[in-house]
Amino acid sequence: MIQKATINDVKEIHALLSTFAAKDQLLPRSLSELYEHLRDYTVYRDSSGAVIGTVALSISWENLAEVRSLAVMEHRQNEGIGRLLVEHCLSEAVTLGIYRVFTLTYQQSFFEKMGFAAVDKGVLPHKIWADCVKCPKFPDCDETAMLIEL
């Protein structure tokens, strides 16, 4: 079941993201950052109500949003949960009137299957890079920038 995250989900989201951040597969998010941006997050729950997947749609500019912090528990990967979460974000973007969505990712083939195409990071507005300054990999980002036009 996909639904917007609630305050009670923050610690589960943090634990899930921390698992993948420890493996250098996505950027870490602090608890304070998750609380501050809770409205951006969507979760996928299993039948018991536990959070087994999460994603965020972050508005970057008047015509641009970012899919970020996509994570699905390892034992539930390859079931289409990640695809459903990204599709939810894309639908939400269209509902908001945003038709360009990007991601910075290590999972290029996954996003290509979703219709995203690799782009030069230089085509993204400078406003996006405010988050990058906080990244431990800045300025040597090794993620691939990808964009989809809806």
Look-up of token digits 């528990």: 73
Greatest Cα pair distance in the chain: 44
Q: Residue type at 85?
A: L
pLDDT at 82 over 60: yes
CB 144 within 8 A of CB 106: yes
Protein fold of 2-149? Aminopeptidase (3.40.630)
Output the pTM of the full model.
Answer: 0.90
pLDDT category of residue 62 using cuts at 50, 70 and 90 = confident
